[in-house]
Amino acid sequence: MERERIRKKLNDGIIGREKNFNSAVLASIIEIDGKLNFVLEKRSRNISQGGEISFPGGGWEDTDKNFEETAIRETVEELGILSKNIDILGKLGTLIIPAGVLVEVYVGEILCMIEDFNINLDEVEEILVIPVDYFKENPPKLAKITVQMYPHYKLEGKKIEFPAKHYNLPEKYHKPWNGRDREVYLYEYNGETIWGITADIIYEIINKII
Which of these, 92, 93, 111, lies nearest to 209 by C-alpha position? Answer: 92
The pLDDT of residue 1: 63
Report if residue 139 sits inside a domain: yes
Residue 6 lies in a domain: no
Position 120 scores a pLDDT of 96
In a domain, residue 7? The reply is no
Provide the number of structural domains found in the chain.
1
pLDDT at position 25: 98
What's 174's domain CATH number? 3.90.79.10
Is 2 a domain residue?
Answer: no
Partners of 25 in the beta sheet?
57, 105
DSSP letters for 70-139: HHHHHHHHHH---GGGEEEEEEEEEEEETTTEEEEEEEEEE-S-GGG----TTTEEEEEEEEHHHHHHSP
Residue 23 lies in a domain: yes
Which residues face 96 on adjacent strands?
102
Instruction: Say if CB 164 and CB 151 are below 8 A apart.
Output: yes
Considering the domain boundaries, does residue 13 fall inside one? no
Residue of 104, 119, 131 whose CA lies nearest to 35: 131
CB atoms within 10 A of CB 126: 12
In a domain? residue 3 = no
Q: What is the pLDDT of residues 18-76, one digit of tens each?
A: 999 999 999 999 999 999 999 999 999 888 778 999 999 999 999 999 999 999 999 99
* Per-residue model confidence (pLDDT) at position 30: 98
Residues of the chain with pLDDT below 70 are 1
Residue span of the structural domain in which 114 resides: 18-208
Please tell me the pTM assigned to this model: 0.92
Note whether residue 12 is domain-resident.
Answer: no
pLDDT score at 12? 81
